[in-house]
Amino acid sequence: MSAHASDKFVYHEPGLQHQFEDMKQQEESVSIGMWLFLAQEIMFFGGLFTAYLVYRSRYPMAFAAASNHLDAFWGGLNTLVLIVSSLTMALTVYYAQKSNRNMQVIMIILTMIFGAVFLGVKGIEYTDKYHHGLVPMAGLNQRVKADKNAHHETEKPCWEVDRNAPPAVHPNPRGEFLWTDCSLAKLAQDENILTPSERFGYYSGGQIDIEKFKGIVRIFYYLYFVMTGLHALHMIIGLGLMTWLLWTAWKGNYNSEYYMPVEMSGLYWHFVDIVWIFLFPLLYLLGRHFNH
């Protein structure tokens, strides 16, 4: 028989693509490709983490003040949600190796539910920042018209305003970035506890300049929205990947002989979870001691 005629009798393992000689070669190629992809993702997020750490080391007081306006409860809840989702993703790989289609489908659905919960919580947090004027881009915050009958802030520095007075109304007709809490800026009046960069960055004419302090706080929120927004985008992509995985798992494509797509999808999901494990303490927890 000719070589072309005998090709149709050659056994191909399930999932083996024509460009590979065998499953081992295919699995090694796919694994190397995924790890290279994750390496460039690490470099991508690494640049953002580096920028964050540089600014935080230079202006710890302003970054702590901004961080204290993030809700650690929601951040902690999302951390728990992603940890559990990593468990269900790992179980998806396990049941694929055991050729258990039904449990694969159940675990993928649970993973997707946890991912959706995570995005829902981020939506709650982003909405809160929108209402409180903490979105750093001008015009993207809630527009609040001035009320002549409402109690407005006095001309005193904000740390001298009576905290027992009725809550002040802060008009924001243009949706600008709005920062009205300078409780930690009061501490910044003590130059002995400031870094050299803070002494230069917060002061004008020998006095604490709230506008300059506010500018550093704004940098924190730029980094917050960029870092958490890109992470949320990766989560959305992960949910799309899980949708495809759910469909192919339902068709029974994965078993003990072929489960590489499940394993590689799990690597991506775990990477997204690990990024959040670093984001949570850096953004939500550092600087909480200043409250005391």
CATH number at residue 198: 1.20.120.80
Distance CA 93, CA 97 (A): 6
117 φ/ψ angles, rounded to the nearest 5 degrees: -60, -45
- Looking at the predicted structure, is the pLDDT value of residue 292 above 70? no
Q: Would residue 177 count as lying in a domain?
A: yes
- Looking at the predicted structure, is the pLDDT value of residue 164 above 50? no
pLDDT at 159: 46
Segments forming the whole domain that contains residue 249: 21-291
Summarize pLDDT for 98-144 with one digit per residue, the tens: 999 999 999 999 999 999 999 999 999 999 999 888 999 888 888 88
Summarize pLDDT for 247-264 with one digit per residue, the tens: 999 998 888 888 888 999
Which residues lie closer than 8 Å to 178 by C-beta, 6 or more apart?
132, 133, 134, 141, 170, 172
Q: Would residue 5 count as lying in a domain?
A: no
Q: Would residue 7 count as lying in a domain?
A: no
pLDDT at 6: 47
- Looking at the predicted structure, is the pLDDT value of residue 82 above 50? yes
Q: Would residue 3 count as lying in a domain?
A: no
Residue of higher predicted confidence among 83 and 24: 83
pLDDT at 154: 43
Q: Would residue 12 count as lying in a domain?
A: no
Task: Label residue 200 by pLDDT band (50, 70, 90).
Answer: confident
Summarize pLDDT for 203-224 with one digit per residue, the tens: 777 777 788 888 899 999 999 9
- CB neighbourhood size of 254 (10 A): 26
Burial of 11 (C-beta count, 10 Å sphere; 0-12/13-18/19+):
exposed
Q: Give the total number of structural domains in the chain.
A: 1
The pTM (predicted TM-score) of the whole model is 0.83
Q: Would residue 2 count as lying in a domain?
A: no
Mean pLDDT, range 72-89, rounded to an integer? 96
- Looking at the predicted structure, is the pLDDT value of residue 158 above 70? no
Task: Label residue 18 by pLDDT band (50, 70, 90).
Answer: low
Distance CA 100, CA 104 (A): 6
Tokens 């796919």 correspond to what residue?
Answer: 30
pLDDT at 13: 60
Q: Would residue 257 count as lying in a domain?
A: yes
Q: Would residue 130 count as lying in a domain?
A: yes
Burial of 278 (C-beta count, 10 Å sphere; 0-12/13-18/19+):
middle
